Amino acid sequence: MEITHKEKQVLLLAARESIKKYFDRGSYTKIEYPIYPVFKIHAGAFVTLKIDSHLRGCIGYIVTKTTLINTVREAAKQAAFFDPRFQPLSSEEVDKIKIEISVLSPPQKINNYEEIIIGIHGLILEEENIRAILLPQVAVSHNFIREQFLSALCEKGGLPPDTWMMQKLNLQVFTANIFSDDDEYE
C-alpha cells in the first residue's frame, strides 16, 4: 500500500496526539486531521516507541475492523501505556519518544520456510494457544538470517528456539510500510 509523505506525517502526528491526550484529559483540544482516502481503509498497524534508540513500547493489530487512522491512534495509546513489558509512559517521557509506524499488508500463509524474505517479511506464528508476531524490521535490526528469525519467533511465542526445526509451524508472512519521526519529509 502506498502512503504519501504527507499522509505519513499526519499518521505520526495522530499517534503522538493520542499519547498526549492521555495526559491532557481536561484541557485536550481535539485535532481535526485531513481525511485522506488511505486513512479510511482497514489495515493492521503497529506503533513502536523508542527513547534513545531503546524500545519503550510496541503494540499493534494484525487485522482490524476500524480505519487505519483509528488503528494507529489506538496502537499508540496501547504501546505507551499498556505494553506489559514496560511501565506506562510518564509525562516527562512524552517529548523524548520517537514513534515508528508499521502499516501491515494482509497476512499470507506460507508452505515452507524458504519463502521468508529477510527485510521484507514479518512473521506470524499461530499454534493452538500460541500467537507471536515479529515485524520485518526486527530481523534487520538484529542482523538475523532466516533461521535466527524463526528461532526468535519461537522464543517470542514461548516455545524452545529450535521448535521450527522439529516441526512445521503454522506461519504467515506480511509486509509493512514502515516510517518514523526520524524519516526525512519534504
pLDDT in tens, 5-49: 999 999 999 999 999 988 776 544 566 777 788 888 899 999 999
Q: What is the pLDDT of residue 71?
A: 95
Domain ranges of the chain: 5-104, 108-174
Stated pTM of the model:
0.90
Q: Do domains 5-104 and 108-174 have the same CATH topology?
A: no
pLDDT at 39: 85
Of 107, 109, 81, which is closest to residue 94 (Cα–Cα)?
A: 81
The pLDDT, as a whole number, for residue 24 is 75
Cα→Cα distances 104→83, 95, 173, Å: 19, 26, 10
Q: Which CATH number fits domain 108-174: 2.60.40.10, 3.30.1300.10, 3.30.70.1350, 3.30.1490.150?
A: 3.30.1490.150
Question: Which DSSP letter does residue 92 get?
Answer: T
Q: How far apart are CA 68 and CA 177, in angstroms?
A: 13
Quick: pLDDT tens for 111-123.
999 999 999 999 9
| Whether the Cβ atoms of residue 152 and residue 123 lie closer than 8 Å to each other | no
At 24, list the grid cell. Answer: 491532557
Give the fold, CATH level 3, of 5-104: Glycoprotein, Type 4 Pilin (3.30.700)
In the chain, the percentage of residues whose pLDDT exceeds 70 is: 95
pLDDT at 185: 53
pLDDT at 183: 80
Q: What are the C-alpha distances in Å from 138 to residues 15, 40, 148?
A: 21, 28, 11
What is the predicted pLDDT for the residue at 37? 84
